Homo-oligomer: A and B are copies of this chain.
């Protein structure tokens, strides 16, 4: 596939973008970070499992942490090096810690939904497979699906509870307070380099777009564009329990797409148009990541000692199903990406 160029991340009719845009974006995201943090504290963050408000606040916190971190990376020549290089790993630690609880919950929901679909019970709510393990109708495979659901429910709920505790602990730690203090400083004073005011933001933003384009060009898109290529399930039964190496370049493109998206937001400001192509491509890559992790969780549950063969069989079907979701997501990405960039305001 010929290398495609991305929509330039600024309005092509405008002139150079100055460091004011960077400072304004970082201040706004820092303010949003502090607002979400306050909201998270006020909405029962201490509960065993967060309320809807506290979940939304944690999501907003992660959202702004990712944007700050991404902008520090893309526009690092304009920012005080020591400060920004100290800040990024702390923001990554924070958003990673906060993301885990949500991820386990979403993974469980995805897997129980798939088990229901595979049992021909798509009309039931997602929780039913786990909850009804003891009332499942006769037939070893259906019992297997119910037991697999109950096993995944147990394992992923435990993981989620632990992630919740870890997140609460993190939010009370001195490490977190240091991050929050740095963000509070950022909300009023962005540490730009002396040369920053004379620097055009367009070259670093274009470089972020180029890194994305190059990474996409290295993906096996020709294969991905052939439906049912059966690539995602190769090694589906290999002994290696590590995440599949074939997924890594796709995960990397997902991160680069996000950086490009944040750079666009920053460059366009409030007038940032929605790029439906980027949106669809990003959604496909999220689905790719979620399905890959769900497949891995099913394989991992199958290694639980002393499970029944019927449970293991259902987990095998589930694993393969999610690896096909991985393949489907790559196809969807390929389809989205090959479309010409469409701009809708």
Chain A residues engaging chain B, CB cutoff 8 angstroms = 115, 117-120, 122, 137-145, 227-228, 230, 233-241, 299, 302-303, 307-321, 324-325, 327-328, 331
Q: Which residues of B contact A318 (CB under 8 A)?
A: 316
Q: A141-B239, A237-B144, A307-B309 are in contact. Are A319 and B321 (CB under 8 A)?
A: no
Residue of B nearest to A229 (CB): B328
Interface pair A118/B319, CB less than 8 Å apart: no
Q: Kindly list chain B residues whose C-beta atoms are within 8 Å of the C-beta of A303.
A: 140-141
A115-B315 in contact (CB<8A): no
Besides the contacts A141-B238, A316-B318, what 4 more A-B pairs have beta carbons closer than 8 Å? Answer: A118-B235, A228-B228, A236-B321, A309-B311
Do the beta carbons of A321 and B118 come within 8 Å of each other?
no
29 contacts between A and B (CB under 8 A): A115-B237, A117-B234, A118-B237, A119-B238, A122-B234, A138-B239, A139-B239, A139-B240, A140-B303, A141-B237, A141-B299, A141-B303, A142-B237, A227-B228, A228-B228, A228-B325, A228-B331, A230-B321, A236-B321, A237-B314, A302-B309, A302-B310, A302-B313, A310-B312, A312-B316, A313-B313, A313-B319, A317-B317, A317-B320
In the complex the two chains form, is B137's CB within 8 Å of A239's CB? yes
Cβ-defined contact, A327 with B228, below 8 A: yes
Q: Which residue of B lies closest to A227 (CB)?
A: B227
Complex alpha-carbon distance, A315 and B140, angstroms? 14
The residue in chain B whose Cβ has the minimal distance to the Cβ of A304 is B309
| A313: B residues at CB distance < 8 A | 302, 312-313, 315-316, 319
Chain B's nearest CB lies how many Å from the CB of A116?
Answer: 9
Task: Return A50 CB to nearest CB of chain B, in Å.
Answer: 32
Contact of A316 among B122, B138, B239, B315 (CB under 8 A): B315
The 7 closest A-B pairs by CB, nearest first: A139-B239, A316-B316, A227-B227, A320-B320, A228-B328, A309-B312, A313-B316
Q: Nearest Cβ distance between residue A329 and chain B, in whole angstroms? A: 9
Instruction: Identify the closest chain B residue to A121 (Cβ).
Output: B238
For residue A195, give the distance in angstroms from its CB to the closest CB of chain B: 50
Chain B residue nearest in CB terms to A319: B317
Q: Which of B230, B235, B307 contacts A120 (CB 8 A)?
A: B235
Complex CA–CA separation, A85 to B35 (angstroms): 83
Q: How far is the CB of A52 from chain B (nearest CB, A)?
A: 30
The chain B residue with its CB closest to the CB of A314 is B237
Name the distance in Å between A316's Cβ and chain B's nearest Cβ.
2
Q: Closest chain B residue to A322 by CB distance? A: B320
User: In whole Å, how far is A5's beta carbon from the nearest beta carbon of chain B?
Assistant: 27
Q: Are A331 and B227 in contact (CB under 8 A)?
A: yes
